[in-house]
Amino acid sequence: MFKRLRDLFSSKKTKKKTSRQVRNCLSDLVTDVHSHLVPGVDDGAHDMEMAIALIKRLQDLGFERLVITPHIMSDLYPNTSEILLPIFEELKKEVAKKLPPIDLLLGAEYFLESNFLDLLSDAGGKDDTLLTFPCIDPLSGEKMKMILFEFAFHEAPNEEMLTDAIFKMQTSGLTPVLAHCARYPYWHMEREKLEDLHSRGVVLTVNAATLAGAYGDLAQETAQYAIEKGWIRMVCSDTHAPHHISAVKELETSSLLAELMSSGLLLNPGVGKN
């Protein structure tokens, strides 16, 4: 308990110390790695018009490439690659007609559940079954095939299921990427769980809205703590609606993003490269 309180106190002190004015060039990120812009398939863009409008706003902020990641959740969003690919291809055609050139890739945000484990077992990492995206680490030059996954917000993941999922991803040649790692409230006071995932080769991401404080102080402080520890390797918009892009815009003056960008750890510029 004393360690957790000390960590929180240290994080708050650093927050005050790094509140200087900065100016970040968002185009340096190159790639946004998490968004919900395939129209009509989840809780993101509800139609083609909205999807194109959101893509334009991300493009206007300087992004050259978007990895679009619809939810795949067996009960709520039972999407598959067969369902998503034709709609995504239609989106690409419409974007090409109406916007300047921008690179669009289709990934997915897989919910940690038994269905995900089944997909991993059946697929063996094959691209035609699982929606993955490539990345070249700007630091090491390592080539990776990445897959984005998430947990429930109200209940911590089953440890056995999580271990099994990480094992299946990695033995299939996939790099696990955890969505919005600072938004899971059950780990705000157990940040060693994030360290454990980082040490096991899981790429940890934070959302722009978290860095901007939209999900509360504890989420923001957890993100800052993880950044300071060197665990965070991606920052994402997680765009569902216009307010998420407004949060990205706020990052132009975010000292947290400045710290992350200056660390050299960000994988964003290498995402989408083979």
Residue 272 belongs to a domain: no
Report CA 233 to chain centroid distance, whole Å: 10
Tokens of 38: 């395939």
The runs of H, that is alpha helices, within the chain are 2-17, 48-60, 81-98, 114-123, 159-171, 192-199, 208-211, 217-229, 242-250, 255-263
Range of the domain at 222: 27-249
Prediction pTM value: 0.92
Q: Which residues contact 13 (CB under 8 A, 6 or more apart)?
A: none
In a domain, 47, yes or no: yes
| Helix 217-229 × helix 255-263 angle, to 10° | 20
Specify the 3-state DSSP secondary structure of 144. Answer: strand
Q: Which residues contact 252 (CB under 8 A, 6 or more apart)?
A: 23, 24, 26
Distance in angstroms (rounded) separating the CA atoms of residues 208 and 211: 5
DSSP letter at 241?
A: S
CB-based contact 108:237 (threshold 8 Å) = no
Per-residue pLDDT of the chain in tens (274 residues, 90 and over written 9): 434 444 544 444 444 444 457 899 999 999 999 999 999 999 999 999 999 999 999 999 999 999 999 999 999 999 999 999 999 999 999 999 999 999 999 999 999 999 999 999 987 645 468 999 999 999 999 999 999 999 999 999 999 999 999 999 999 999 999 999 999 999 999 999 999 999 999 999 999 999 999 999 999 999 999 999 999 999 999 999 999 999 999 999 999 999 999 999 999 999 999 9
In a domain, 129, yes or no: yes
In single-letter form, the type of residue at position 10 comes to S
Question: Residue 109 falls within a domain, yes or no?
Answer: yes
Q: Which two tokens stand for residue 47?
A: 């139609």
Does some domain include residue 263? Answer: no
Does residue 17 belong to any structural domain of this protein? no
Asked if residue 14 is part of any domain, the answer here is no
- Count of domains forming the chain: 1
The CATH number for 220's domain is 3.20.20.140
> From CA 63, how far away is CA 147, in angstroms rounded?
20
Whether residue 145 is contained in a domain is answered as yes
